[in-house]
Amino acid sequence: MSTILDRIKAYKLEEVARAKAATPLSALEAAARGAASPRGFARALRDAAHTGYGLIAEIKKASPSKGLIRADFDPPALARAYEAGGATCLSVLTDAPSFQGADEYLVAAHDAVALPCLRKDFLYDPWQVVQSRALNADCILLIMASLEDGQAAELEAAALDWGMDVLIEVHDQAELDRAALLKSPLIGINNRNLHTFEVTLDTTRRLARRVPEDRMIVAESGLYTADDLADLAQYGARCFLIGESLMRQADVAAATREILSKPLTAQGGL
């Protein structure tokens, strides 16, 4: 079965081959060495989770499952609204064909705020890891559904070498077992199945208890209300990655504040 993830991988590999021909690794490494110092992404989440929730707020114009999400799309203004609303970190889509993202959106959002920034894209080649750092990314995403074990380990090692954090995304038990073999403390549980687009918070409810104690859970996708966060917090999640529901609001700062308004602190942070 050819799914959206397979199609994305195919065009991404072509895109990267072209980009590598245009910009050799040595040039990219020079740019990465000149980038802004990495902002501690995992550390910021851990600190936030001590007293409440860690929120990764996503800047996302469109998606393959929803089409256009926000017409009035100004990445620096959105970054500032998220920061004002109490977000811990940002996630910025840079994939163009499926998400109408752009590398420039990451650079612009990073420059507008002091928050650590995740480059949200589909990475397969260490060249893209260096490219992410050159774009001032503080963290990259690795999607286990789309990577072999050796490939994920290689990409993670490159990211850690460059001082970035790594969010490892899983959707089922097998992917979680493979993620546990990697080093990163950040395990994202994606409530959206990237093959079928089906979304259910049961994914986090089922997998959260299986995440090793020394890792931090980031519940991703399909989160709409403060009650959704409080619900998943009961299963051990203290960090959340939210895009669409905040992107659809006129007042993004107020919506961010609102969704963070019910922290489950009774059981303490992590």
Q: Which residues bind ligand IGP (CB under 6 A)?
A: 58, 60, 120, 143, 169, 190, 220-223, 241-245
CB of 192 to ligand IGP, least distance (A): 6
Minimum Å gap between C-beta 106 and ligand IGP is 14
Residue 63 bears catalytic tag: no
Q: Between 103 and 220, whose beta carbon lies closer to ligand IGP?
A: 220
Q: Which residue is nearest to ligand IGP (CB)?
A: 243
Q: Is-contact 49 238, C-beta < 8 A?
A: yes
As a whole number of angstroms, the distance between CA 229 and CA 159 comes to 29
Q: Any catalytic annotation for residue 245?
A: no
14 is known as an active-site residue: no
* DSSP 3-state of 139: strand
For residues 29 and 192, which CB has a smaller minimum distance to ligand IGP in the complex? Answer: 192
CA-to-CA dists, residue 16 to 1, 23, 32, 49, 87, angstroms: 24, 10, 17, 36, 31
Distance of closest approach, residue 207 Cβ to ligand IGP, in angstroms: 14
CB nearer to ligand IGP: pick between 200 and 265: 200
Active site residue 183: no
Q: Which of 60, 83, 91, 191 is flagged as catalytic?
A: 60
C-alpha 173/C-alpha 104 separation (Å) is 35
177 CB-near residues (< 8 Å, 6+ apart) = none
Q: How far is the CB of 34 from ligand IGP (least distance, A)?
A: 28
Q: Which is nearer to ligand IGP, 49 or 219 (CB)?
A: 219
Known active-site residue 120 = yes
221 is catalytic: yes
Could you say which of 91, 132, 136, 221 is catalytic? 221
Torsion of CA 146, 149, 151, 154, to 10 degrees: 140
Q: Of 132, 169, 184, 191, which is the active-site residue?
A: 169
Catalytic residue list contains 169: yes
Residue type, 33: R
- Give, in degrees to the nearest 5, the angle at Cα 47 between 46 and 49: 65
Nearer to ligand IGP, 34 or 83 (CB): 83
Alpha helices by DSSP H, listed for the chain, are: 4-22, 25-33, 41-51, 75-85, 103-112, 126-134, 149-161, 173-179, 202-207, 226-233, 244-247, 252-259
List, by residue number, the catalytic residues: 58, 60, 120, 169, 190, 220-221
